[in-house]
């Protein structure tokens, strides 16, 4: 699959395994900030058809953002909820950081856009991570959105299509 300029190699993948890898990658950073990382997944494998590398990039970006904006002693939570009735998996990454101002939310997925929270000044970024996440999720037939309130934290949610039993790529 080719969406824009990115190439995708779609294979059956267990997204729980990919989430474990992403969480392990940022664990040292979380430990340094005394931020607790929580991963809630179903007790079984969760199979989606996706590009492993690209979905891992999405999770890495969302976890990095959540840690960047979390206060020392905070919690970052990743939750996976499969919904076979609609054929999707919802993944959410929640932090207890400063949140995103309401006026920034409509633009947050635009390339190079950075919100105006004070925390951003001490934690600069490129403004590309959420734009990349949006492109990747949408290329997989999913959607991505943000729920945030200033001073109360942010939750980024995205969906991916679940593999149907017996389905192949």
Q: 25 with 14: CB under 8 angstroms? A: no
So what's the pLDDT on residue 121? 45
- As a whole number of angstroms, the distance between CA 162 and CA 169 comes to 12
Query: How far is Cα 91 from Cα 96, in angstroms, rounded to an integer?
Result: 17
**Can you give the pLDDT at residue 2?**
47
**Sequence ranges of the domains in the chain:** 2-161
Q: Name which CATH class applies to 2-161.
A: alpha beta
Per-residue pLDDT in tens (0 to 9) along the chain, 169 residues: 545 568 999 999 999 999 999 999 999 999 999 999 999 999 888 999 999 999 999 999 999 999 999 999 999 999 999 999 999 999 999 999 999 888 888 888 777 556 555 444 455 555 678 999 999 999 999 999 999 988 889 999 999 999 987 777 5
């Amino acid at each position: 699959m080719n969406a824009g300029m990115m190439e995708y190699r779609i294979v059956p993948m267990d997204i729980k395994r990919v989430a474990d890898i992403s969480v392990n990658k940022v664990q040292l950073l979380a430990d340094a900030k005394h931020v607790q990382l929580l991963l809630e997944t179903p007790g079984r494998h969760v199979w989606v058809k996706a590009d492993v590398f690209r979905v891992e990039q999405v999770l890495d970006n969302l976890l990095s953002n959540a840690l960047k904006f979390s206060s020392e002693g905070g919690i970052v939570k990743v939750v996976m909820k499969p919904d076979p009735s609609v054929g999707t998996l919802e993944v959410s990454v929640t932090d207890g950081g400063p949140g995103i101002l309401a006026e920034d939310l409509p633009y947050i997925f635009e390339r190079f856009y950075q919100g105006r929270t004070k925390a951003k000044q001490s934690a600069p970024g490129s403004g590309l991570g959420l734009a990349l996440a949006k492109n990747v999720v949408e290329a997989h037939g999913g959607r991505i959105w943000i729920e945030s309130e200033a001073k109360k934290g942010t939750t980024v949610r995205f969906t991916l299509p679940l593999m149907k039993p017996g389905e192949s790529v």
